[in-house]
Chain A
């Protein structure tokens, strides 16, 4: 193992890691915002409300992220309407393409987590809220969602870790995040083992910090204490 090379390229790798974190942060936060209405609609009792989110979730969970990424980055340019539209400067940029695709992708997964969590809220609590005279929407916002958020938090933290790893795919659309940076450095140094090892360590550390952070958040939100039924 050639440690000097690793140390020499560490700043570059850290730069890539920042981009990775940026991508993941955008994806999981925007994805969560997008997933809340999707998840609520998905757990609806009416088939007409449920059908569209179901199709969306099925498509995004059933196809690889790589395909989705290529569809957005390379695929959209096939249409003249897209190339002439005002959004083209953004859709031409790999960073925005990757962020948008990862957001759409993770939103499908988070929506499914949210559906599971909403359905896991004890029915007695919802009935109690209704018995107290809360409207359906009020019960949803004050009782069901806060409860479902805590039930779904561990699964959401899993999804964030998965997105951290999925962000490596952004390197295939020429983005220089951690993996992309590692590949660029290897093209110059011809030392794949050392550089990929260093990049792997970066991912491990980031995953570890995220796991710790979510453990802390779980304690702050007192997830364990609310779990007793």
Chain B
């Protein structure tokens, strides 16, 4: 089968690059939010627990598409107000920033649970040993908990990243020129919807396979020195 892309191949490739950029940027934001959320949920303070719990519950209960739309269309007035305050009239969130915030927010909410599970899975004795050695709380977290946490959290984060990668397609709704948007433009010209969306589907499949390979390598590295549990 020979697929004719009518010269839209480079545009789709550029879209794929944009998708990857979006996914990776949102991943960074999401990891930070997830860590903060997990810290809040496992902290001894009731208020912080409440903040973490509310964040993960509300964000996970509302569709990703709604977040994308809400953050893109809902923050226009807010951004304008901020822009006037700092002296940049007409400040607004572009589609990329809105997409990163929305997807990062959703990723962070799920990652909160993954990280929380990982923090709880680390034996209490390690923390106590750190305290006995006179380490500060933050030092214990960075030097003792975090390095061990990654190994436990990695499979869960990998799943979330695959979901994040597929959710980047939603940002095409607000006009960001990633794979789906470029396919839509191509369809508008060529009227060959099936061909282009199928190509888009296979680009996503390729990206998923890449991400799976990356996750496999990361997991292998993270679990070095540990016996593979019989499964």
Report A's interface with B, CB cutoff 8 A: 58-59, 62-68, 70-71, 74-79, 164-169, 171-172, 179, 182-183, 186, 192-193, 196-197, 199-200, 203-204, 207-208
* Inter-subunit contact B192/A64 (CB<8 Å): no
B205 within 8 A of A: yes
B170 within 8 A of A: yes
A residues within 8 A CB of B197?
67, 70-71, 74-75
CB within 8 Å of A: which B158-206 residues = 166-170, 172-173, 180, 183-184, 187, 191-195, 197-198, 200-201, 204-205
* Inter-subunit contact B74/A62 (CB<8 Å): no
Distance to closest chain B CB from A87 (angstroms): 16
A residues within 8 A CB of B77?
193
A residues within 8 A CB of B204?
62-64, 67
> In the complex, what distance in Å separates the CA atom of A153 from the CA atom of B127?
36
* Inter-subunit contact B65/A200 (CB<8 Å): no
> By DSSP majority rule, is chain A's interface helix, strand, loop, or mixed?
helix
Report B's interface with A, CB cutoff 8 A: 58, 61-66, 69-70, 73-74, 76-77, 166-170, 172-173, 180, 183-184, 187, 191-195, 197-198, 200-201, 204-205, 208-209
Distance to closest chain B CB from A41 (angstroms): 21
A-B contact pairs, 21 of them (CB 8 A): A58-B205, A63-B166, A66-B170, A68-B201, A70-B180, A70-B184, A70-B197, A75-B197, A78-B195, A164-B63, A165-B63, A167-B63, A168-B63, A168-B65, A179-B66, A183-B69, A186-B73, A196-B69, A196-B70, A196-B74, A203-B63
B residues within 8 A CB of A207?
61
* Inter-subunit contact B191/A78 (CB<8 Å): yes
Of B74, B173, B201, which contacts A67 at CB under 8 A?
A: B201
Q: Please list the 6 inter-chain residue pairs (A to B) with the smallest Cβ-Cβ separation, ordered nearest first.
A: A75-B194, A168-B63, A64-B169, A74-B193, A165-B63, A64-B166
